[in-house]
Amino acid sequence: MDPSTSSGQALTTSPVGQPDAHRGPDQAFTSVEPGGPAVRAGWEEHPPRKGFFTDTSICIGCKACEVACKEWNGVPQDGIYELLGSSYDNTGALGASTWRHVEFIEQRKPLGGQTTGVTIGVPETTSYAEPSVGRAVLLGEIGGDFDGSAGADHSGLDLFGSLKPAPAQDKPLVDLGMPAFDLPSASPDAGERTDFRWLMASNVCKHCTNAGCLDVCPTGALFRTEFGTVVVQDDVCNGCGYCVAGCPFGVIDRRIGDKNKPKDDLANKNHGVAQKCTLCYDRLSENLTPACAQACPTQSIQFGDVDELRERAQKRVETLQAAGVMGAQLYAEDPDGGVGGAGAFFLLLDEPEVYGFPPDPVVTTADLPRMWKNAGFAALGLVAAAATAFVAGRR
C-alpha cells in the first residue's frame, strides 16, 4: 500500500447532504491510527469503535442471525423459493437483501478434536496426502469381550495429523467444500470417503477500516458513523452501483425489486438502492446489541468494542491452535492487512478460500494514490506536450 493522506481527497468531491468531515479523511491509508476510523472521518466525540467477532468454530448454522437481521431491518425475502442444492445453504451469498449469510461447507477433513463415524463400514483410502485420522485401531484389536484393555491405544492417535500444514512445495489442492468441486453423485466410488466435517460460518459486511465502498461513493450516501462502521443512507443513494465494484468482498449490492408486487410491498422497498449491513446503526444509537448478535444462541457472533474483540479473538485462536485445531485462523482482523483491519472479522477453521472469502483482500482504492500520481504525471506530460506544441507552433 502506498500511504498518502492527500490524494484520496480527489474522489470525495461531491458529498451530498453529508458533512465532508465524516468522509474525506477515510481515504487515509494509514492502517493504525489512534481513535480509529471515526476520528479520521472527523468525529470529534465518538464511542469506541464497534464491530463483530464471528467465531465460526462454535457456529451451529441455525441461521437465527439471518432471520433476526431481516426482521429488525425490514429486509425483504429475496429470490424465489427454490433449493440451491448446496448443503443447507439456500441463501447463496450476501447481497442487497441478505446482510447475514450462513455458509455450510461439507469437507472431507476431520474437525480438530472430533471423531466422526461417517466412514464406518466404508473401505478406507484417503484423498489427502496426510495420514487419515481415527482409523488406526483395527477391528480385530478391539476384541469382543470388553476386557477393558482394547481402547488403550486411543490416546496415542495423532488426531490432528492431517490438519498440520503440508510442506509448501506440495501443498494439496484446497477443497472449497462446494458441491461443484466434485459432484457428489459423480465421485468414483465409496473408497473415496475418509473423514468429514461440516463447517458453518455467518458472513457479514466487514465494516473495513479502509472501506472501498465508501471511498468510491459519489453521493455521500455511504458514510462512516461515530461507531466506526460504514452505513448506507437509503434516501441519499442514487443507485450508481460504484460501491458494488468497490467492495473487495462482494458484500454490497443494489436491491432489485419485484415488478409483480405492489410498489409499497416490502420487496420493492429501496428498489435500485445499494444495501448492506449497517451493524444495526439504529440499535447502536440506543445502546442495543445488533439483532444478529442478540439472536445468536451460541455466541458465535460476538459484538463489542473492536479493540476488546481483537484481544478475545487472539486468545480464542491460540486456544484452538493449542488444542490442535491447526486450521484455526483469524480473518480480516489484521490492522496491517489489505483493508486496514475489519470492524467485523472472523475466526475460520480453514483457509479463507474454503469459505469463499478472498484470501488476501485489498481495498479496491488502495492503488488510487499511485494511479492519481501517475495520472498527474500523465496530465503534466500532456500539459508539457501541449505547451511544447504551442511553443513549437509559435516558431
Partner 1 sequence: MAECHPVGFQWVMEAKARGAKVIHIDPRFTRTSAVADTHVPIRAGSDIAFLGAIINYILSTEKYFHDYVVAYTNAATLVSEDFVDVDDLDGVFSGYDPETGTYDTSSWSYEGVGEHSAGGGPASDPAKDDEGGEEKGGGSGATGGSESEESESDRSAGYEMGGHGASLDHSEVRRDETLQHPRTVFQVLKRHFARYTPEMVQETCGISPEQLLEVCEAVTANSGRDKTTAWVYSVGWTHHTVGVQMIRTSAIIQLLLGNMGRPGGGIMALRGHASIQGSTDIPTLFNLLPGYLPMPKVGPHDSLDEYVAEIASPDQKGFWVNAKSYTVSLLKAWWGDAATEENDFAFGYMPRLTGDHGTYATVMSMLRDEIDGYFLLGQNPAVGSAHGKMQRMGLSHLKWLVVRDLNLIESATFWSDAPEIETGELKTDEIDTEVFFFPAASHVEKGGTFTQTQRMLQWHHKAVDPPGDAQSELEFFYLLGQKIRQRLAGSTDDRDRPILDLTWDYPLDEDGEISAEAVLAEINGFHLSGDKAGQPLNTFNEMKPDGSTSGGCWIYTGVFADGVNQAMRRKPGREQSWVAPEWGWAWPMNRRTLYNRASADPEGKPWSEKKAYVWWDEEAKKWTGHDVPDFEVGKAPSYRPEEGASGPDGLAGDDPFIMQADGKGWLYAPAGLLDGPMPTHYEPQESPVSNPMYRQQANPTREVFPRKDNYQNPSGDEPGVELYPYVFTTYRLTEHHTAGGMSRFQPYLSELQPEFFCEVSPELARERGLENLGWATIISARTAIEARVLVTERVTPLRIAGRTVHQIGLPYHWGQGDQALVSGDSANDLFGVTLDANVHIQETKVASCDIQPGRRPRGPALLEYVAAHRARAGVTLATGNEHRTPPEDAEGKHRRVTRDDLDGDVIGGPDGATGAKGSMNKQERS
Residues 284-303 that bind partner 1 (CB under 8 A): 297-299
Distances (CA, A) of 142 to 33, 150, 287: 60, 5, 58
Q: Judged by CB, which is closer to partner 1: 36, or 61? A: 61
Query: Which CB, 101 or 283, lies closer to partner 1?
Result: 101
* By the rule CB under 8 A, 185 interacts with partner 1: yes
CB 224 within 8 A of CB 38: yes
Here the cell at position 17 is 447532504
HSE (CB half, 13 Å, CA atoms) of 130? 21
* Residue 374 binds partner 1, judged by CB under 8 A: no
Nearer to partner 1, 47 or 179 (CB): 179
Of the pair 113, 359, the CB lying nearest partner 1 is at 113
Q: Is 87 in the site for partner 1 (CB under 8 A)?
A: yes
CA distance 163 to 10: 47
**Could you give the C-alpha distances from 70 to 101, 185, 200, 203, 321, in angstroms and in order?**
11, 35, 19, 14, 35
Contacts of 222 (CB under 8 A, 6+ apart): 211, 213, 214, 230, 231, 232, 233, 237, 243, 274
**Contact letters for partner 1, residues 30-59 (x by CB under 8 A):** ----------------------------x-
Stretch that binds partner 1, among 179-187, 219-227, 228-236, 362-370 (CB under 8 A): 179-187
Chosen residue from 6, 77, 314, 374 binding partner 1 by CB under 8 A? 77
Q: Interface with partner 1 includes 178 (CB under 8 A)?
A: no
Please give the Cα distance from 3 to 372 (Å, whole number): 13
d(CA 316, CA 302): 12
Q: Which residues bind to partner 1, rule: CB under 8 A?
A: 58, 60-64, 66-67, 70-71, 76-83, 85, 87-88, 90-91, 106, 108, 111, 113-122, 137, 139, 142-148, 150-151, 154, 179, 183-185, 187, 189-190, 193, 196-200, 297-299
